[in-house]
């Protein structure tokens, strides 16, 4: 059982608790993992908690359900976030760790780091102490390898992770790296676990070759019991009877572990399969199954790799995998952020300069899709506040009351949000980034609401539109309109009427304590909203790959074609082309154009000149 002690418990109160435990023959230890002290007691079946219930100085007693305690989700329902330098593992962004199996040289490590960073990896891995099956195999560059990792971190801005194989390496790890890996073969090296448990450094704990989930989590418990709460657990394949792959990747461990523990889970398909061609399919499956992070071995010359060449992807293969994961992520409500490190650096630098957190505003209530989009774009290091309209968002950014704003620009079902485009142009704000969210809707009501008894439903006009097929089935319901889905959910909670329900999001229903009546009611499962992140000036948030332009052509035959041929002649890929009427000038049109290039680059200057010559009006909305 876990006995949480009061913050101001006296020594004599503690003594009494210790004596009561001793009198029952219960072994125990006291640890201080998070906020305040706790006693972990090894109770036996049927003992109960009666013998200490009435003692003073106790805040809470949690009886045992599982043998692991500090790692158990039942004792800590919220997901744990693990910080590795500027990177957070366990949030809504998928984290990809990549690099060679072993650090071989400065040149090799730096060149692989640059490649994997370019494709979206945010933490660099590389072994300096290699636990090899044969004593004659390459054992790693040891401290020289760690120094290379530290140098490459300086050169690339990527935090670094490496394996520690003995407690004697602790000081070196503290000095050179950002995350310590405990390898599969050391999962039950308890002295090593105790050692990393006492360090102030995040740990990635690999599952042992033949370890059960229980044993694996007990090893994580060792690290947490030592006071280190920053633990990521890593499934890297287990040994089975199957020889076609190096190991068998236990993907079913993901949902099992997610319900048992609050710690983030990382999947290593490289060691799990041991075969290059099998890595990407398993990586994609792991993300679909709910993994928080991936670790992928990449080598620029796998045939010559000092270790694990056969399972190392070539940089370009890694790039393709990252693009696939980028597409899969929003389906399961997560994101791959290709500008992660650059964005973190900008936020960090400006936060430091201002002495306070940067601010971003969005339209709607907490729990609305706009809030989620803001959270997924900015992560945890920025202050997010809701405002009641897109106009207020634009005003807050224009008047410097907020550093950033977030507004919806396009729905996959209903097209562009023209009024937001207009607001951007009127106020001369810049799009500096974008984020796409899959929007799923549910029907929710207060507890006890039954679908058959519902007579009215409240939601936003957009949500009703996105659920039009479902609404046709329920055409007898009276429709009531709210500003957004989160406001609708809060209204249903306040009214507490079982004949009224709301079409809202799962997040909003959870936030307002509503019961889900039906899920997946949106007409198209491919229902996405694209949000623009806006600021007063163009900011560096990662590689700029895309530009949004708006222009009006003159009323001449072939005028639009002329502008499009400029893009074609310059080999510029068009991502979006949409026309809309010009306000007050019937039958004249504006064109929204998104192109796959940076309009900030010098190479774009002649293109821009040619476009200007062939348009009456041209405005660059942003480069991102
Ligand atoms: C490694 O990550 O390179 C490694 C040795 O992994 P594992 O401990 O899973 O075999
Ligand atoms: Mn390896």
Average pLDDT on 207-226 reads 97
Q: How far, in Å, from the CA of 227 to the mean position of ligand 1?
A: 25
Residues 90, 288: contact at Cβ < 8 Å? no
d(CA 601, CA 607): 11
Atom 1 of ligand 1, residue of closest alpha carbon = 101
Average pLDDT on 225-238 reads 97
Query: What is the per-residue pLDDT for 588?
Result: 83
Atom 9 of ligand 1, residue of closest alpha carbon = 184
Which range has the worst mean pLDDT, 42-46, 229-233, 461-465?
42-46
Ligand nearest to the CA of 307: 2
Atom 5 of ligand 1, residue of closest alpha carbon = 183
d(CA 185, CA 207): 8
d(CA 108, CA 125): 13
**Atom nearest to 237 CA in ligand 1:** 9
Which residue carries 């959910």 as its tokens? 489
Split at pLDDT 50, 70, 90, the class of 622 is very high
Helix ranges (H only) for 418-479 are 418-427, 461-466, 468-473
Query: What is the per-residue pLDDT for 414?
Result: 86
Query: What is the per-residue pLDDT for 538?
Result: 78
Q: Which domains does the chain have, with CATH numbers?
A: 2-64 (3.30.70), 94-332 (3.20.20.70), 357-439+528-532 (3.40.190.10), 442-519 (3.40.190.10), 542-623 (3.30.70.260)
**Atom nearest to 183 CA in ligand 1:** 8
Ligand nearest to the CA of 125: 1
Query: What is the per-residue pLDDT for 41?
Result: 85
Q: How far, in Å, from the CA of 184 to the mean position of ligand 1?
A: 6
Ligand nearest to the CA of 207: 1
Which range has the worst mean pLDDT, 232-236, 532-536, 554-558, 594-598?
554-558
pLDDT in tens, 83-119: 999 999 999 999 999 999 999 999 999 999 999 999 9
Q: How far, in Å, from the CA of 430 to the mean position of ligand 1?
A: 45
**Atom nearest to 236 CA in ligand 1:** 9
Pocket test for ligand 1, best of 163, 209, 279, 294 (most atoms within 8 A of CB): 163
Average pLDDT on 425-449 reads 95
With a Cβ cut-off of 6 Å, ligand 1 is lined by 101, 127, 183-185, 206, 236, 271
Ligand nearest to the CA of 310: 2
pLDDT in tens, 552-573: 998 788 999 999 999 999 999 9
Pocket test for ligand 1, best of 160, 268, 297 (most atoms within 8 A of CB): 268
pLDDT in tens, 335-349: 999 999 999 998 888
Compute CA distances 613 → 227, 559, 563, 607, 610, whole Å.
Answer: 66, 11, 9, 10, 5
| pLDDT more than 70, % of the chain | 99
User: ∠ CA(377), CA(437), CA(576), 5° rounding?
Assistant: 100
Residues 264, 89: contact at Cβ < 8 Å? yes
**HSE-CB of 334 using CA atoms within 13 angstroms:** 20
Split at pLDDT 50, 70, 90, the class of 585 is confident
pLDDT in tens, 489-541: 999 999 999 999 999 999 999 999 999 999 999 999 999 999 999 999 877 77
Residue 35 predicted with pLDDT over 70: no
Q: How far, in Å, from the CA of 134 to the mean position of ligand 1?
A: 14
d(CA 15, CA 461): 62
Q: How far, in Å, from the CA of 78 to the mean position of ligand 1?
A: 29
Query: What is the per-residue pLDDT for 34?
Result: 61
Query: What is the per-residue pLDDT for 451?
Result: 93
- Whose CA is closest to 264, among 241, 244, 294? 294
Atom 4 of ligand 1, residue of closest alpha carbon = 183
Q: Is residue 480 within a helix (H) or strand (E), and if so which, with residue range?
A: strand 478-481
Average pLDDT on 404-417 reads 93
Q: How far, in Å, from the CA of 271 to the mean position of ligand 1?
A: 6
**Atom nearest to 127 CA in ligand 1:** 3
d(CA 21, CA 24): 5
DSSP tag of 370: H
d(CA 390, CA 396): 10
Average pLDDT, the chain: 94
Atom 6 of ligand 1, residue of closest alpha carbon = 183
Pocket test for ligand 1, best of 99, 206, 272, 306 (most atoms within 8 A of CB): 206
**Atom nearest to 308 CA in ligand 1:** 3
Query: Hey, what are 275's tokens?
Result: 């075969």
| pLDDT more than 90, % of the chain | 84
d(CA 317, CA 279): 10
Split at pLDDT 50, 70, 90, the class of 48 is confident
- Cβ neighbours around 490 below 10 Å, total: 19
**Atom nearest to 185 CA in ligand 1:** 8
Pocket test for ligand 1, best of 130, 138, 179, 184 (most atoms within 8 A of CB): 184
Q: How far, in Å, from the CA of 255 to the mean position of ligand 2?
A: 25
**Atom nearest to 268 CA in ligand 1:** 9
């Amino acid at each position: 059982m876990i006995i949480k002690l009061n913050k101001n418990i006296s020594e004599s109160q503690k003594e009494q608790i210790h004596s009561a435990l001793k009198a029952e023959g219960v072994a125990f230890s006291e640890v201080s993992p998070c906020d305040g002290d706790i006693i972990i007691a090894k109770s036996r079946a049927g003992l109960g908690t009666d013998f200490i219930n009435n003692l003073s100085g106790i805040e809470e007693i949690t009886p045992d359900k599982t043998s692991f305690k500090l790692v158990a989700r039942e004792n800590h329902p919220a997901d744990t976030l693990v910080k590795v330098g500027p990177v957070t593992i366990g949030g809504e962004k998928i984290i990809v760790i990549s690099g060679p199996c072993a650090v071989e040289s400065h040149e090799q490590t730096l060149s692989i780091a640059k490649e994997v960073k370019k494709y979206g990896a945010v933490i660099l891995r590389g072994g300096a102490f290699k636990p090899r099956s044969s004593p004659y195999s390459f054992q790693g560059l040891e401290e020289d390898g760690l120094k290379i990792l530290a140098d490459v971190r300086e050169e690339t801005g990527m935090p670094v992770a490496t394996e520690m194989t003995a407690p004697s390496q602790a000081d070196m790890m503290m000095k050179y790296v950002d995350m310590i890996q405990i390898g599969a073969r050391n999962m039950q090296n308890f002295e090593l676990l105790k050692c990393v448990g006492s360090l102030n450094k995040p740990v990635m704990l690999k599952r042992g070759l033949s370890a059960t989930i229980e044993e694996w989590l007990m090893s994580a418990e060792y690290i947490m019991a030592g006071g280190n709460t920053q633990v990521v657990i890593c499934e890297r394949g287990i040994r089975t009877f199957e020889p076609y792959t190096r190991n068998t990747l236990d993907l079913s461990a993901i949902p099992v572990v997610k319900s048992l523990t609050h710690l983030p889970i990382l999947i290593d398909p490289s060691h799990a399969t041991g075969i290059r061609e099998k890595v990407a399919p398993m990586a994609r499956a792991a993300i679909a199954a709910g993994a928080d992070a991936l670790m992928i071995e990449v080598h620029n010359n796998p045939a010559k790799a000092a270790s694990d060449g056969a399972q190392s992807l070539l940089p370009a293969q890694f790039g393709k995998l990252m693009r696939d994961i980028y597409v899969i992520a929003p389906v399961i409500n997560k994101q791959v952020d290709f500008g992660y490190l650059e964005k973190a650096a900008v936020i960090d630098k400006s936060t430091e300069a201002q002495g306070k957190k940067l601010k971003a505003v969005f339209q709607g209530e907490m729990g609305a899709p706009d809030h989620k989009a803001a959270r997924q774009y900015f992560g945890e290091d920025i202050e997010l506040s809701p405002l009641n309209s897109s106009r207020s968002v634009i005003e807050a950014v224009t008047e410097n009351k907020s550093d950033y704003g977030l507004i919806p620009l396009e729905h996959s079902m209903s097209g562009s949000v023209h009024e937001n485009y207009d607001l951007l142009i009127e106020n001369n704000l810049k799009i500096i980034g974008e984020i796409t969210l899959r929007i799923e809707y549910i029907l929710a009501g207060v507890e006890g609401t039954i679908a058959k008894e519902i007579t009215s439903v409240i939601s936003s006009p957009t949500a009703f539109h996105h659920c039009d097929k479902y609404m046709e089935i329920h055409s007898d319901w009276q429709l009531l309109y709210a500003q957004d889905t989160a406001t609708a959910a809060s209204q249903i909670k306040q009214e507490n009427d079982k004949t009224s329900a709301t079409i809202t999001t799962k997040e909003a229903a959870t936030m307002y304590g509503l019961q889900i009546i039906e899920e997946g009611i949106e007409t198209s499962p491919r229902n996405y909203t694209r949000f623009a992140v806006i600021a007063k000036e163009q900011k560096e948030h990662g590689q700029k790959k895309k530009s949004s332009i708006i222009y009006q052509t003159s009323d001449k035959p072939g005028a639009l074609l002329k502008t499009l041929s400029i893009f074609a002649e310059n080999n510029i890929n068009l991502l979006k082309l949409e026309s809309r009427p010009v306000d007050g000038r019937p039958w004249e049109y504006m064109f929204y154009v998104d192109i796959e290039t940076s309009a900030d680059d010098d190479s774009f200057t002649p293109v821009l000149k040619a476009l200007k010559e062939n348009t009456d009006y041209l405005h660059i909305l942003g480069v991102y």
